[in-house]
Structure 1
């Protein structure tokens, strides 16, 4: 369904190929879900910093994902900044979760989801047109 929706979006959107954005949207969604669940588990385990990093990652990933799904309001400078924020937050969260990955499976999964989001955002930024 999402692929069909992407194909139906207006094609006059400058610099943003919705089909190329789909993997990034999906990676942001997956990272947001993993980070939300990791933050919840971290809170119960007394890992406040990790929980906070995960919550912030969820916020940045969700906001970026939602912006990508609104191509009519696309602005390349803003979208590039949001994706760069996803990369920075994803790297920071993955590094934090990696510190607990051996003892917490949820942290290992969250770190992997964050790294996938970082890779997808980098790929999407590389496909964005500068015209």
Structure 2
């Protein structure tokens, strides 16, 4: 399925601003990748036991936030600027915190290394999206 073609055909007339659909697509893809990586990392952390409880919880929360952010962006007609900015900042905060937590365990769990990379990419894409909204 070509989600980019779908996005470009969606009506954005209800939005208070012009949105860069290519950047939106990149951001949504990064959110999706981070959600998947964080979900897998959380499952791996749970198998490792108590010492990874904080990391598992952080990954679970990040996966939910990234997935929610992606779903909100898939409905651009229902967005307004303040809520979109707030959502992106929240996703960035969770992604930053998750990446930092996963970096603590990269030597113990390969899943943490992948999760940290995916979160870093998501944060970078969200930052670019946020910057494009204030320009």
TM-score calculated relative to the size of structure 2: 0.92
Contact 1:14 1:129 in 2 (8 A): no
Contact 2:12 2:77 in 1 (8 A): no
CA root-mean-square deviation: 1.2
Residue aligning to 1:124: 129
Q: After the TM superposition, list the runs of 4 or more consecutive aligned residues in structure 1 that deviate by more than 2 angstroms.
A: 16-20
Q: 2:120 aligns with which of 115, 118, 127?
A: 115
Residue aligning to 1:86: 91
The count of corresponding residues between Structure 1 and Structure 2 is: 130
Unmatched 5+ residue regions in structure 1? none
Shift of residue 2, structure 1, vs aligned partner: 1.2
Residue aligning to 1:44: 47
Q: 3-state DSSP class of the match of 1:100?
A: coil
Unmatched 5+ residue regions in structure 2? none
Residue aligning to 2:62: 57
Q: 3-state DSSP class of the match of 1:103?
A: coil
Contact 1:28 1:117 in 2 (8 A): yes
Shift of residue 39, structure 1, vs aligned partner: 0.2
Asked if residue 29 in structure 1 is aligned to residue 46 in structure 2, the reply is no
Asked if residue 74 in structure 1 is aligned to residue 79 in structure 2, the reply is yes
Residue aligning to 1:6: 7
TM-score calculated relative to the size of structure 1: 0.94
